[in-house]
Chains A and B, each alone.
Chain A
Amino acid sequence: MERSFKEEVKSLRLTTGDVFTGEGILAVTKALLQSGVSYVGGYQGAPVSHLVDVLTDAKDLLDELGVHLETNASEAAAAAMLGASINYPIRGAVAWKSTVGTNVASDALANLASSGVTGGALIVIGEDYGEGSSIMQERSHAFAMKSQIWLLDPRPNLPTIVDMVEKGFELSEASSTPVMLELRIRACHVHGQFHAKSNRAPAISRNAGLENPTFDYGRIVLPPSSYVQEKHKVEIRWPAAVKFVQDNKLNEMFSGSLDEIGVICQGGMYNVVIRSLQQLSLADAFGESKVPIYCLNVTYPLISTEIQQFCTGKKAVLVVEEGQPNFIEDAILAALRRGDINGARIYGKDVLPMAGEYTGEVVLSGMSKFIERSAPRGVDIASIAKKRDALLAPKLQAGELFGGPLPTRPPGFCVGCPERPVFSAMKLIERDTGKFHMSADIGCHLFSTLPPFNIGNTVLGYGLGLASNAAIDPLFAKRTVTIMGDGGFWHNGLTSGIANSVFNKSDGILVIMNNGYTSATGAQNIPSSPHEPEAKMTGMSIEAALKGIGVNWIKRVTTYHVGEMSKTLKDAMSSSYNGLKVVIAESECQLEKQRRLRPVVSAALKAGNRVVRTRFGVDEDVCSGDHSCIRLSGCPSLTIKDSSDPLKVDPVAHVNNACVGCGLCGEVAHAAILCPSFFRAEIVQNPTWWDNLKWRLRATVIGWMQPA
């Protein structure tokens, strides 16, 4: 795993009276234990990976409490696990990245929501929306609405988040409905404090198991139960939830002196709303706002009576709702119309943008427009506009000073990444084959679509690379290529892609990136990880799975061997073999490898043992500054610098000190017949007497022949 959570595990043991300090998602983890969960599961993905990661490191604590931790094979598996709470009074929680994870999980979620739950079921979703996101921009809100799952969107501070976890279980039990806790990226990673409580050992646990199964046909999603369940949802569960939310005041009302107007916001938007009001001198640093605020820590269901009450007597209300469509704004309009409350003009996506993250700048602009248009008594509208313009002026000025946009810096393959050479090889064979269609997949390998490679034409979902090639393959005049990561392979690619492809006699080429981990999400282990802890050694192998499913053309190639990789891909393209051709591109994730090796090497060096360090370099006297090597590699450590040659004007290629010595640049120079500039340097640290003797002997002889 990318990170060790040894320190964080300690804070999971805090007891009542202690102060917890740490990240939002770890606070959620602690809150789960405080709520007495019996089981926790999930699938990794930023920004919620840490929840399962930290529990993986907290085995002792979980054993003491009897909590079952499952690292699920997919979000669908995680959601299905919540089935334990349908019949039994067992609290459980699962976590994943949304909306992608919720998409995968929705089959199980819809069934779960129909059956209803006895024990509290909490789904922690990391809403990967806005800056730093790596997925399509959608809302999880729609899932809550369609399956009737309650949606919590707490104010992004640790005490509120923790409170909402605990209340979320109670709400779930009070209304027999699963509950989603939505946390945006920054809220997951917000660093703060809350007053901890002691952990609660669950009544039903691995230490105190169930004895008798409960059978209740009413919980089975099959007619006639399913019809009854739908009625139960709206007639019993919905009113119960509304009552619970109202009784426990989960939504918050903040009064203010400018009571002609008001703001209704999602809980997650509260802090940015307050900051925009501060910048316009309408609130102080402690959240004392002149503008009344109704903060929705529960965004589904909405409480009509609270909305009507808040808007009564106001002439204008701003709805700050991130993402689209604007479900909440529309629902508020409907609630007011039904309640015949027509005095308040509702602002929302007219002053704020329909799409995109609500950053400080966006909300500031929207808020000032709202204030200007609603013109509440006691506010100098001209000064508001002036303030906003002054705040935005430096941005405009910077634009003028630069004269054009700065180059972007998207994420890319790490130094020494074993996946990069596969795309170097593809770039090379393009010379012989022309460009070919590539169906890409989710994972670090999707960086192939960025410069310098620009390879990969579509991406349809995790593990779905091969499935997405199903119609491309027969409809293309030449063979096409598909990528799948080992993470995607185990997530669902084995069935949805490979089994499907073999069954339908497809003729495609599949490259499986076997780097040992789900690297993009933080290098979590998967069934075929090479360095599993002993307890998890399963012997599960990709190749065995492929053979078992009927794939007969399988080639395993070490990714760094660019020449061999190119040849294998060319063979696959021109082979007369009819059927799925699979190239397993093997080499361990370099991040994980370095993490494993670094302490070993530094210990060896400290002990005075001989260690050979390998690094690559470019001879700047020989480099001509054409940068073909960079166009075929893109390694961050292969960069450029001013040539020290006074006559050369173009910068020369240069390998910086981040180099881990993977050798790709040299391999590419060889495979592409680029130039003689690359060299490998082997630095012998702590040399033995034999090393020194050989070295001195050679240096002497070479010295006789060597010019300055």
Chain B
Amino acid sequence: MNLPERPITILIAALGGEGGGVLADWIIAAATKQNYPVQSTSIPGVAQRTGATTYYIELFPAKFADLGGKRPVLALTPSPSNVDVMVASELIEAGRAMQNGFVSPDRTTLIASTHRVYTTLEKMHMGDGRIDGDRIIKAAETLAKRNVLFDMQAIAQDSGTVISAVLFGALAGSGALPLSRADCEAAVHGGGRGVDASLKGFDLGYKHAAGELKAAAPEAVKRWMDHPSERVKDSFPIETHRILEEGVARLVDYQDTRYATQYLDRLKPIAKLDRERGGQALGCMLTNETGRFLALWMSYEDVIRVADVKTRKSRFERVRGDVMAKPGEPVHIVEYLKPGVDEVAAMLPTSLANRLVRWTDKRGLTHKLNKGMYIKTTSIVGFGLLRGLAALRPVRRMTSRWQAEQTLIDRWLGEVQAAARRDLQLALEIGLCGRLIKGYGDTYKRGRGNFLRILDHLVTGTQFTTDRDRALAIKSAREAALADPEGRKLEGNLSTHGVTPLPPEAKPIKFFRKKPGSEERRPA
């Protein structure tokens, strides 16, 4: 008989701990049972610890009996354009396989899960450091002979199994291997633990790959409140309705109707300028983005807000879902809170707050009095305490934090408005700086500090030849502010415009060193 010219090659890209090795074992077991020559290799070692790793399998599609004593030479490493089936347990890993030349249009079936496991560098960004996954899916459409792409992680989770089972099902369902469904299922059976859940995941993976099931459309992530507002409808352009209505609903929920009215009053002149200067051609970006960050800023998270959202019924239900509690299982929630002088001062009227902070500053106590608290929101006492704090909402307008925020908001909006009269792009860049105001404690102070540096030195202050130059400078400074937590990138950026950089923060710890030749100590 004519023997096949080459082995079927399968490369599996997985993350350490995902069961890539189990998948390789299943393929080996199924192929061995059918008497195909098969070989797998892997590079476990330290890559197993959460890093990207690969498993490589070669299966010769003729049974031992037909080989007449000949034995194929099977390779231990994959070669470019020499991979028949590329299996990836995650989207970036599929991309990596393409980048290494392991997906080719003449022969590769790409079987990959479309979910993302973000890398540390993507996660640690101060804003949004994620890479665009669509780029990878588009590349797959160009580079692979055939694509089997769907969210296998979601299916694995629903089936109570791990992704390797779904991948194996998809591999079997793709028909890329000379192994029947029954052969593969038998291999899963032989694997021991968690067989039923694995088979369930396998079944769903198989059906998706074989085209018997279509992936469900992803659920919408954003929870819009969708509260219609007469005033928004009547006096703002249609492109802005969704965001502004959300803003209105947010502020009613946060404070009261009066506050929501103030929100629209603040936006009105900006929306007017946006319209007059042809902003509608840009989808009213200025109104939308300023409206977005204004609503977020006006609903700044103080103790009252945090206590309020933590005690809502919807939140209790979300936590139950997040931690995958079964019906009937009590779920106790313990909050990690650590309020200090800042939080207390924020709740006092301005004059009292100033006196308190002056007093603690003088004694170096401002950052030392934070009290770590574990509050059980699901207990009657804990819940009552937080509800009590939430009930302070009516006095919020009298707090020092309120005063400070409103003053800065008005200053910011004033600059946006002034800029909008000259150049919409410049106004938009100033509006987008609202993104820097977020967080708590040091994060909040850092963001606010960065915001002020830009406002003081680039929005006003420094001279620029054109408004466009100014807009570009603001944009790049804003990105620099989100690039490192120590603020050195922002300072470096500002210094290119002639702004003297702030010195790095002083470090208070004293080190003891011994003098050469003596046992005595002195502070260094």
Contact = CB atoms under 8 A, between A and B. Distances in A.
Contact of A622 (B75, B247, B306, B334): B306
Contact of B39 (A191, A275, A674): A191
Contacts of B186: none
Contact of B223 (A409, A645, A695, A707): A645
Nearest to B82: A279
A360 interface: yes
Interface in A260-291: 270-272, 274-276, 278-279, 284-287
A451 B47 contact: no
Given A190-B39, A411-B47, A681 B131 contact: no
Name the residue in B76, B98, B384 with the highest tally of chain A Cβ atoms < 10 Å from its Cβ: B76
B121 interface: yes
Given A271-B75, A644-B221, A411 B507 contact: no
B72 A286 contact: yes
Contacts of B5: 284-285
B318 to A, nearest CB: 8
Interface in A360-419: 360-361, 364, 390-395, 397-399, 401-403, 405-415
Interface residues of A, number: 137
Interface stretch (B276-284, B416-424, B492-500, B510-518): B510-518
Nearest to A134: B46
A133 interface: yes
A479 B4 contact: no
Contacts of B511: 433, 477-479, 573-574
B407 interface: no
Interface in B84-123: 92-93, 95-96, 98-101, 103-105, 117-123
Contacts of B435: 649-650
A270 B73 CA distance: 9
B55 to A, nearest CB: 9
Interface string B35-65: 0001111111111111111101000100000
Interface in A16-59: 21, 46-47
A49 to B, nearest CB: 9
Name the residue in B32, B122, B332, B441 with the highest tally of chain A Cβ atoms < 10 Å from its Cβ: B332
Contact of B312 (A131, A132, A707): A707
A222 interface: no
A270 B105 CA distance: 28
A584 to B, nearest CB: 22
Contacts of B340: 673
A132 B43 contact: yes
A186 B143 contact: no
A620 to B, nearest CB: 8
Nearest to B373: A670
B443 A409 contact: no
Contacts of A412: 49-51, 120
A132 B124 contact: no
Contacts of A456: none
Interface string A676-693: 101111111101000110
Nearest to B21: A189
Contacts of A156: 76
A615 B319 CA distance: 10
B42 A186 contact: yes
B394 interface: no
B331 A681 contact: yes
Nearest to B220: A644
Interface stretch (B197-205, B209-217, B322-330): B322-330
A627 interface: yes
A507 interface: yes
B362 interface: no
Name the residue in A134, A410, A450 with the highest tally of chain B Cβ atoms < 10 Å from its Cβ: A410
A666 B337 CA distance: 9
A669 interface: yes
Name the residue in B105, B335, B336, B438 with the highest tally of chain A Cβ atoms < 10 Å from its Cβ: B336
A360 B50 contact: no
B402 interface: no
Contacts of B142: 397, 401
A636 interface: yes
Interface stretch (B164-172, B228-236, B265-273, B375-383): B375-383
A279 B71 contact: no
A647 interface: yes
Nearest to B307: A676
Given A401-B139, A444-B49, A631 B440 contact: no
Contact of B295 (A287, A478, A641, A647): A647
A285 B76 contact: no
B304 to A, nearest CB: 12
Contacts of B243: 646-647
Contacts of B143: 394, 397-398, 401
Name the residue in B43, B374, B438 with the highest tally of chain A Cβ atoms < 10 Å from its Cβ: B43
B202 to A, nearest CB: 20
A360 B82 CA distance: 9
13 contacts: A131-B77, A133-B45, A284-B5, A361-B79, A407-B122, A570-B509, A645-B222, A655-B322, A674-B441, A680-B336, A681-B333, A695-B330, A707-B313
Given A187-B76, A573-B511, A638-B123, 16 more contacts: A46-B46, A132-B44, A191-B38, A274-B75, A361-B101, A364-B79, A393-B81, A398-B143, A402-B95, A409-B52, A412-B51, A432-B509, A625-B128, A642-B222, A676-B335, A681-B323
Interface of A: 21, 46-47, 128, 131-134, 156-157, 185-187, 189-192, 270-272, 274-276, 278-279, 284-287, 359-361, 364, 390-395, 397-399, 401-403, 405-415, 429, 431-434, 444, 447, 450-452, 477-479, 507, 520, 563, 570, 573-576, 578, 613, 615, 617, 619, 621-622, 624-628, 630-631, 634, 636, 638-651, 655, 657, 666, 669-670, 672-676, 678-685, 687, 691-692, 694-695, 698, 701-702, 705-708
